[in-house]
Structure 1
Amino acid sequence: MNEKIQEIAQRVRALRDINGLSAESVAKKLAVDVKTYQAWESGTADIPVGSLYELASLFSVDLTELITGQAPRLHTYCVTRHEKGPEVERRSPYKYWSLAYNFQHRKAEPFLVQIEAESEQKPLELNSHPGQEFDYVLEGRMLVSIGGHEVELGQGDSVYFDASEPHGMKALGGKRVRFLAVII
């Protein structure tokens, strides 16, 4: 598996141990089955970004620490150059780049998300996480499913929703889609 996935898995496992929690108790708090959680912790499966966000909250660390192994250092402002933010999740067909990873005490988690065109052929994968989410389409078209409702979004369209509702996205029209996702 990818080296980044392995590094994140090791940090999650270490933080769980430091906090004196069992894999079973963490899986229960994340509302996932134990085998799924153990696959995440072993690095044999990638951890969805929403679950990383939940794990960071559970372990009282910044999401940046889970992703990079380093604490954010900036407190006045931070600049993230084009596609230079750390890639958070590497499961096909999604790519996520953290856009404020180096800013301390963030109130929101902004990401640039890219979904490859191949996702149009695949069934929609749903996930959920605490908080709210805002997605703004920068390029392409995508299908968004939220709590059983489906809506198509194009360039310049946006959606704001309760992220605890099962949701998922996929590219449409045979082209990739890129959008700004902000988890609050």
Structure 2
Amino acid sequence: MTDPHETRSAVEESRLEKTVGNRVRHYRAAAGLTAADLAARAGLSPAMISRIESASTSASLTTINRLARALDVPVASLFRGADAPRAAVVVKAGQGTESVRAGSRQGHRYASLGSLLSTSGPSLEPVIVTLNGASDEFPLYEHAGVEFLYMLEGSMLLVHGDDEHVLEAGDSILLDAETPHGPTAVLRAPARFLSVNPVGG
């Protein structure tokens, strides 16, 4: 008969290894380090860094301490989220949190649908953007990562680098957000779309 305590322990250990691996990868990437760079700083082999980040090995406390010092972060930050319940944010229709952004002065409306800080991957923020068409000013945006837009209502002209796209209700675009981009004209008002960005993007 399988011991349920052993099964639960194995699951918890796996979750811990994944959390540590994901956090190491996150902080390494944020510092602009390669696996070889981190290995040199921590006095470990690149292969060990790879095994830790892929959660294929359990790092000792000594190794985790070395990694934290090499990444210049507290040891506890490499465990953050390992025992936290998985969160979810529910926003009822029409109850998004109004926020002030670059286009607010031109009368554009932004309603955040919440954000979560992920311990295992990119953190995203979905926002409903409403353009009323009364403004001739449309700021362009540049930020790290990618952005996804889905048109909910109306239509607009969106620029991405040298390209222009007419987006109508039901259309979507996934774009490289490091290229200047954004709506440049409202063709049928109100133009309302869902924008999904990395948190802080």
Please state which band the TM-score falls in when normalised by the shorter chain: 0.5 to 0.7
State yes or no: 1:116 paired with 2:127.
Answer: no
State yes or no: 1:97 paired with 2:108.
Answer: no
Contact 1:139 1:155 in 2 (8 A): yes
Instruction: Specify the alignment match of 1:125 in structure 2.
Output: 139
Give SS of 2:148's match.
strand
Instruction: Specify the alignment match of 1:148 in structure 2.
Output: 162
Instruction: Using the TM superposition, give the Cα deviation of residue 91 of structure 1 relative to its aligned residue in structure 2, in angstroms.
Output: 2.5
String of CA shifts for 1:88-108, please: whole Å, max 9, x gaps.
Answer: 22332321111124x443721
Instruction: Using the TM superposition, give the Cα deviation of residue 124 of structure 1 relative to its aligned residue in structure 2, in angstroms.
Output: 3.9
Instruction: Using the TM superposition, give the Cα deviation of residue 132 of structure 1 relative to its aligned residue in structure 2, in angstroms.
Output: 0.5
Worse-superposed segment, 173-182 or 160-169? 173-182
Instruction: Using the TM superposition, give the Cα deviation of residue 165 of structure 1 relative to its aligned residue in structure 2, in angstroms.
Output: 0.5
Instruction: Using the TM superposition, give the Cα deviation of residue 75 of structure 1 relative to its aligned residue in structure 2, in angstroms.
Output: 3.9
CA distance in 2, matches of 1:80, 1:128: 27
> 1:110 is aligned with what amino acid?
P
State yes or no: 1:85 paired with 2:77.
Answer: no
Instruction: Specify the alignment match of 2:177 in structure 1.
Output: 163
Identity %: 35
Contact 2:109 2:129 in 1 (8 A): yes
TM-score (norm 2): 0.49
Instruction: Using the TM superposition, give the Cα deviation of residue 85 of structure 1 relative to its aligned residue in structure 2, in angstroms.
Output: 2.2
Please point out which of 186, 189, 194 is paired with 1:175. Answer: 189
Instruction: Using the TM superposition, give the Cα deviation of residue 170 of structure 1 relative to its aligned residue in structure 2, in angstroms.
Output: 4.0
CA distance in 2, matches of 1:150, 1:76: 38
Instruction: Indicate the RMSD between aligned Cα atoms, in angstroms.
Output: 2.2
Worse-superposed segment, 75-84 or 145-154? 75-84
Gaps of 5+ in 2: 1-84
CA distance in 2, matches of 1:81, 1:113: 16
CA distance in 2, matches of 1:123, 1:104: 32
Tell me which stretches of 4 or more aligned residues in structure 1 moved more than 3 Å: none
Q: Which has the higher Rg, Structure 1 or Structure 2?
A: 2
CA distance in 2, matches of 1:174, 1:135: 17
Give SS of 1:140's match.
strand
CA distance in 2, matches of 1:127, 1:182: 14
Contact 1:96 1:112 in 2 (8 A): yes
What is the count of residue pairs matched by the alignment? 109
